[in-house]
Protein backbone atom coordinates (compact mmCIF):
# COMPACT_ATOMS: atom_id res chain seq x y z
CA UNK A 1 0.00 0.00 0.00
CA UNK A 2 2.13 2.89 -1.21
CA UNK A 3 1.53 6.09 0.64
CA UNK A 4 -0.72 8.72 -0.87
CA UNK A 5 -0.59 12.33 0.30
CA UNK A 6 -3.07 13.26 2.98
CA UNK A 7 -6.04 15.42 2.11
CA UNK A 8 -6.24 18.88 3.63
CA UNK A 9 -8.93 17.61 5.99
CA UNK A 10 -6.79 14.67 7.11
CA UNK A 11 -3.80 16.99 7.56
CA UNK A 12 -5.91 19.32 9.69
CA UNK A 13 -7.12 16.39 11.78
CA UNK A 14 -3.53 15.31 12.46
CA UNK A 15 -2.28 18.81 13.18
CA UNK A 16 -5.05 19.88 15.53
CA UNK A 17 -6.11 16.77 17.45
CA UNK A 18 -4.28 16.27 20.75
CA UNK A 19 -2.10 13.16 20.32
CA UNK A 20 -3.66 11.21 23.18
CA UNK A 21 -7.17 11.68 21.80
CA UNK A 22 -5.91 10.82 18.33
CA UNK A 23 -4.36 7.62 19.67
CA UNK A 24 -7.52 6.59 21.49
CA UNK A 25 -9.55 7.18 18.33
CA UNK A 26 -7.03 5.22 16.27
CA UNK A 27 -7.19 2.24 18.62
CA UNK A 28 -10.99 2.32 18.55
CA UNK A 29 -11.14 2.40 14.75
CA UNK A 30 -8.54 -0.37 14.37
CA UNK A 31 -10.49 -2.59 16.75
CA UNK A 32 -13.87 -1.78 15.22
CA UNK A 33 -12.49 -2.73 11.82
CA UNK A 34 -11.14 -5.99 13.23
CA UNK A 35 -7.57 -5.09 12.29
CA UNK A 36 -6.36 -5.65 15.82
CA UNK A 37 -7.91 -7.43 18.77
CA UNK A 38 -8.19 -5.60 22.13
CA UNK A 39 -6.09 -8.16 23.98
CA UNK A 40 -3.16 -7.78 21.60
CA UNK A 41 -1.98 -4.53 23.15
CA UNK A 42 -1.66 -5.72 26.77
CA UNK A 43 -0.17 -9.00 25.50
CA UNK A 44 2.47 -7.09 23.57
CA UNK A 45 3.26 -4.89 26.56
CA UNK A 46 3.89 -8.00 28.66
CA UNK A 47 6.15 -9.44 25.96
CA UNK A 48 8.14 -6.23 25.57
CA UNK A 49 8.76 -6.07 29.29
CA UNK A 50 10.43 -9.46 29.35
CA UNK A 51 13.44 -7.73 27.86
CA UNK A 52 15.35 -5.43 30.19
CA UNK A 53 18.84 -4.17 31.05
CA UNK A 54 19.06 -7.08 33.51
CA UNK A 55 19.24 -9.43 30.53
CA UNK A 56 22.03 -7.37 29.02
CA UNK A 57 23.83 -7.40 32.35
CA UNK A 58 23.59 -11.20 32.50
CA UNK A 59 24.99 -11.51 28.99
CA UNK A 60 27.90 -9.28 30.00
CA UNK A 61 28.53 -11.24 33.20
CA UNK A 62 28.61 -14.48 31.22
CA UNK A 63 31.06 -12.95 28.74
CA UNK A 64 33.29 -11.84 31.61
CA UNK A 65 33.48 -15.31 33.13
CA UNK A 66 33.27 -17.64 30.12
CA UNK A 67 35.91 -17.03 27.41
CA UNK A 68 34.17 -19.35 24.93
CA UNK A 69 30.91 -17.42 25.32
CA UNK A 70 32.77 -14.15 24.98
CA UNK A 71 34.35 -15.29 21.73
CA UNK A 72 30.99 -16.53 20.42
CA UNK A 73 29.32 -13.27 21.44
CA UNK A 74 31.87 -11.19 19.58
CA UNK A 75 31.94 -13.30 16.43
CA UNK A 76 28.21 -14.08 16.07
CA UNK A 77 26.28 -11.99 18.61
CA UNK A 78 22.71 -12.98 17.77
CA UNK A 79 23.46 -16.69 17.80
CA UNK A 80 25.30 -16.43 21.12
CA UNK A 81 22.48 -14.45 22.72
CA UNK A 82 19.88 -16.91 21.45
CA UNK A 83 21.93 -19.79 22.85
CA UNK A 84 22.04 -17.87 26.12
CA UNK A 85 18.23 -18.08 26.13
CA UNK A 86 17.09 -14.73 24.78
CA UNK A 87 14.72 -14.78 21.83
CA UNK A 88 15.81 -12.39 19.12
CA UNK A 89 13.25 -13.67 16.60
CA UNK A 90 12.40 -10.91 14.17
CA UNK A 91 14.79 -8.50 15.85
CA UNK A 92 17.27 -6.42 13.85
CA UNK A 93 20.89 -7.63 13.71
CA UNK A 94 22.81 -7.19 16.97
CA UNK A 95 26.31 -5.77 17.12
CA UNK A 96 28.53 -6.00 20.21
CA UNK A 97 31.10 -3.25 20.79
CA UNK A 98 33.98 -4.57 22.83
CA UNK A 99 35.56 -2.07 25.18
CA UNK A 100 39.25 -2.74 25.70
CA UNK A 101 41.94 -0.94 27.65
CA UNK A 102 42.43 2.30 25.75
CA UNK A 103 39.30 1.95 23.63
CA UNK A 104 35.83 2.93 24.77
CA UNK A 105 32.56 2.89 22.81
CA UNK A 106 29.49 5.13 23.06
CA UNK A 107 26.23 4.28 21.25
CA UNK A 108 23.76 6.87 19.99
CA UNK A 109 21.00 7.18 17.42
CA UNK A 110 21.20 10.77 16.23
CA UNK A 111 18.23 10.33 13.88
CA UNK A 112 15.74 8.79 16.30
CA UNK A 113 16.25 6.21 19.10
CA UNK A 114 17.43 2.92 17.61
CA UNK A 115 18.35 0.65 20.48
CA UNK A 116 18.79 -3.12 21.07
CA UNK A 117 15.27 -3.45 22.46
CA UNK A 118 14.96 -7.20 22.05
CA UNK A 119 17.70 -7.55 24.62
CA UNK A 120 17.44 -4.43 26.76
CA UNK A 121 13.77 -3.37 26.58
CA UNK A 122 12.70 0.27 26.35
CA UNK A 123 15.50 2.77 25.70
CA UNK A 124 16.27 5.15 28.58
CA UNK A 125 14.65 8.57 28.47
CA UNK A 126 18.02 10.30 28.19
CA UNK A 127 19.05 8.17 25.21
CA UNK A 128 16.09 9.54 23.25
CA UNK A 129 16.70 13.18 24.21
CA UNK A 130 17.70 15.86 21.70
CA UNK A 131 20.63 16.81 23.93
CA UNK A 132 22.09 13.30 23.89
CA UNK A 133 21.52 12.82 20.18
CA UNK A 134 23.19 16.14 19.38
CA UNK A 135 26.14 15.97 21.78
CA UNK A 136 27.25 12.31 21.69
CA UNK A 137 28.81 12.55 18.21
CA UNK A 138 30.43 15.91 18.85
CA UNK A 139 31.79 15.85 22.40
CA UNK A 140 31.56 12.32 23.81
CA UNK A 141 34.27 12.92 26.42
CA UNK A 142 32.53 16.03 27.76
CA UNK A 143 29.21 14.21 27.85
CA UNK A 144 30.69 11.29 29.79
CA UNK A 145 32.40 13.68 32.19
CA UNK A 146 29.05 15.30 32.97
CA UNK A 147 27.99 11.97 34.41
CA UNK A 148 31.23 11.51 36.29
CA UNK A 149 32.79 9.16 33.76
CA UNK A 150 36.36 10.31 33.37
CA UNK A 151 38.42 8.25 30.97
CA UNK A 152 42.22 8.51 30.72
CA UNK A 153 43.19 11.15 28.15
CA UNK A 154 44.83 8.55 25.92
CA UNK A 155 41.71 6.35 25.78
CA UNK A 156 40.18 6.34 22.33
CA UNK A 157 36.47 7.12 22.28
CA UNK A 158 34.53 5.56 19.42
CA UNK A 159 31.01 6.89 18.92
CA UNK A 160 28.69 4.52 17.06
CA UNK A 161 25.69 6.21 15.42
CA UNK A 162 22.92 3.63 14.83
CA UNK A 163 21.70 4.88 11.49
CA UNK A 164 20.57 1.67 9.82
CA UNK A 165 19.74 -1.95 10.55
CA UNK A 166 22.15 -2.81 13.34
CA UNK A 167 21.46 -2.38 17.05
CA UNK A 168 24.53 -1.94 19.19
CA UNK A 169 25.37 -2.89 22.77
CA UNK A 170 28.63 -2.19 24.56
CA UNK A 171 30.51 -5.05 26.21
CA UNK A 172 32.16 -3.11 29.05
CA UNK A 173 35.49 -4.05 30.61
CA UNK A 174 35.26 -6.10 33.78
CA UNK A 175 36.21 -3.89 36.71
CA UNK A 176 39.24 -4.69 38.85
CA UNK A 177 38.57 -6.16 42.29
CA UNK A 178 35.93 -8.63 41.09
CA UNK A 179 38.10 -11.73 40.99
CA UNK A 180 36.17 -14.82 42.00
CA UNK A 181 32.75 -13.16 41.79
CA UNK A 182 29.93 -15.31 40.43
CA UNK A 183 27.83 -14.29 37.44
CA UNK A 184 24.89 -13.01 39.46
CA UNK A 185 27.12 -10.73 41.52
CA UNK A 186 28.88 -9.47 38.42
CA UNK A 187 25.59 -8.84 36.61
CA UNK A 188 24.54 -6.66 39.54
CA UNK A 189 27.35 -4.25 38.65
CA UNK A 190 26.19 -3.63 35.09
CA UNK A 191 23.76 -0.76 34.46
CA UNK A 192 21.99 0.32 31.29
CA UNK A 193 24.31 3.33 31.10
CA UNK A 194 27.28 0.91 30.96
CA UNK A 195 25.68 -0.96 28.05
CA UNK A 196 25.32 2.28 26.08
CA UNK A 197 28.74 3.56 27.12
CA UNK A 198 27.87 6.64 29.19
CA UNK A 199 29.42 4.99 32.25
CA UNK A 200 31.74 2.12 33.07
CA UNK A 201 30.97 -0.59 35.63
CA UNK A 202 32.74 -0.05 38.90
CA UNK A 203 32.64 -1.39 42.42
CA UNK A 204 30.08 0.45 44.53
CA UNK A 205 31.40 3.06 46.95
Partner 1 sequence: MRPVSAEPGESPFRAHHDLGGVRRFLCTPVEREEHSLSDFDREVDALRQVLAQHGLLRVDELRRGIESIPEERYFALSYYERWAVALADVLLSKGVVRGEELRAALSEGSLE
Partner 2 sequence: MNGFKPGQRVRVRAEWPERHGPVHIRTPHYVRGREGEIAAFLGVFPNPEDLAFDRPAPPLPLYHVRFRPEALWPAPVSGTEILVEIFAPWLIPL
Query: Does residue 139 bind partner 1 (CB under 8 A)?
Result: yes
Query: Does residue 74 bind partner 2 (CB under 8 A)?
Result: no
Is 113 noted as a catalytic residue in this protein?
Answer: yes
Distance CA 48, CA 44 (A): 6
One of 7, 52, 75, 113 is an active-site residue; which one? 113
Q: DSSP code of 79?
A: H
Strands 167-171 and 94-98, sheet pairing: parallel
Give the end-to-end CA distance of the chain in Å, rounded to a whole number. Answer: 57
Query: Does residue 75 bind partner 2 (CB under 8 A)?
Result: no
Query: Does residue 25 bind partner 1 (CB under 8 A)?
Result: yes
Cβ atoms of residues 183 and 132 within 8 Å: no
Number of residues that bind partner 1 (CB under 8 A): 60
Cβ atoms of residues 106 and 140 within 8 Å: yes
Phi and psi at residue 151, to the nearest 5°: -95, 150
Query: Bridge partners of 168?
Result: 95
Query: Does residue 13 bind partner 1 (CB under 8 A)?
Result: yes
Q: Where are the alpha helices (DSSP H) in 125-191?
A: 130-135, 140-146, 183-187
**In the complex, least distance from residue 115 CB atom to partner 2, rounded to whole angstroms:** 14
One of 52, 75, 87, 109 is an active-site residue; which one? 109
141-200 binders of partner 2 (CB under 8 A): 141-142, 156-166
105-134 binders of partner 1 (CB under 8 A): 108, 110-113, 122, 124-126, 128-134
Which is closer to partner 1, CB of 73 or CB of 195?
195
Q: DSSP code of 170?
A: E
Number of residues that bind partner 2 (CB under 8 A): 23
Query: Does residue 7 bind partner 1 (CB under 8 A)?
Result: yes
Is 162 noted as a catalytic residue in this protein?
Answer: no
Cβ atoms of residues 152 and 145 within 8 Å: no
How far is the CA of 25 from the CAs of 13, 18, 19, in angstroms? Answer: 12, 11, 10
Interacting residues toward partner 1 by CB under 8 A: 1-7, 9-10, 13-15, 17, 19-30, 32-33, 35-36, 40-42, 44-45, 48, 108, 110-113, 122, 124-126, 128-135, 137-139, 143, 146-147, 161, 193
Residues designated catalytic: 109, 112-114
Interacting residues toward partner 2 by CB under 8 A: 1-3, 93, 110-111, 137-142, 156-166
Amino acid sequence: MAHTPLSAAERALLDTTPPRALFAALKKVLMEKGLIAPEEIPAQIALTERASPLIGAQVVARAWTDPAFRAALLSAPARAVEAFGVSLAGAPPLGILENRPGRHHLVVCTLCSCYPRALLGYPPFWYKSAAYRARAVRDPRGLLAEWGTVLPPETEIVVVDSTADYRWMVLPERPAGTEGWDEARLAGLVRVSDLVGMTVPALPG
